Amino acid sequence: MLRFSASCAGLSICDSLNYMPARRKKSSHFRFFSLRLVFVFILICTVILSWELYRSWKERIWTLDTRFTVVAATADPTIYSYSPKSGKIIVIKISEKTQVDVAGEYGKWLAGSLWELGWQEGKKGELLRYSLQNSLGLPIDGWIDKDGVSLFEGRGLGFVSAFSKAITSRGIKTNLDFFDRLNVLIATSKVGIGDRRRIDLETQGVLKRITLADGEEGLEIVPDQARVAFEPLRDDTVFAESKRVVVINSSDKSGLASEVGRILSTLGTRVVGTQTNKDVVENCVLRGLKSDLETVTAKKVAEVFGCDLEEKEPLSPTDFEIILGENFAKNY
């Protein structure tokens, strides 16, 4: 009996010894498979992140050597205009009680209500941007919600802090992508208090007091005064290129070419004339030779007005023709 038990015990031990390597082998396979899954997951995340960064870089609005102007949807809409040449920021507040001709044929509304109207109508912040751009004759590149003001109010941020804030600011409602936010944070954090200038539109005569339709006191914009007040906000890079532009109105909206020409002049281009004809254009086309379309001026004009580029020699003796179609007139 003892001998039999010993044999059984020995058999048990042998079976155990034979089984242990198999368990180790299975465990090794499982770890290898898990590592492969982790590697594939990391690879997929890296590809997605790389693609998102590439897309963000391609779709960025700001050309870094140009003036960058953004409107914030604060209670009183606030415009921030940063010049990389001077390293200064100009801040302009528009009272919420300012009566504005709204883009897209919405009639007259108060500036303080344009943000909500834009989201109600599916136009987001573009309605606020275009409405103020048209009414003030001031080129505006982007829009941010009230929380986006932090992009222009930072002080002394290093690259790592700016990078982190650009990522965490994804929740801001804006048309600025990651690289736009990052570049704004890096640039404006270096601007000291002494290099931040505020323009008082009432003092400058750009806004005058009126009685609104409901009997309340409000304000309205004086276009001729706006032209004078915003002359310092021209884009120095665009002005230095000294490109000549002819504005062609192909829509049925009278005065459209003059309105666009006023904004182009503030931008820094040389508007040499306006015309009316019936070119078959739906929205907005910037026409010029390839060498001219590759300039900063062309990129800036196309971005500000949402124009397509057309490589073709202008019919007028000029560098560019900007042709405005019916859809542009309806939405502008």
C-alpha pair distances (Å), 252 with each of 74, 245, 264, 280: 35, 21, 21, 13
Within the chain, which residues score under 50 in pLDDT?
Answer: 1-11, 13-14, 17, 48-49, 51-54, 56-58
What pLDDT is attached to residue 27? 66
What pLDDT is attached to residue 281? 83
Distance of CA 63 to the CA centre of its chain: 11
What pLDDT is attached to residue 210? 95
What pLDDT, in 10s, does the model give residues 108-149?
999 999 999 999 999 999 999 999 999 999 999 999 999 999
What pLDDT is attached to residue 132? 97
Dihedral of the alpha carbons of 320, 324, 325, 326, in degrees to the nearest 10: 180
CB 223 within 8 A of CB 298: no
Buried b (16+ CB within 10 A) or exposed e, 225-255: ebbebbeebbbebbeebebbbbbbbbbeeee
What pLDDT is attached to residue 2? 43
pTM tops 0.75? yes
Could you tell me the sign of the dihedral formed by the alpha carbons of 104, 106, 111, 114, in that order?
Answer: negative
d(CA 234, CA 263): 10
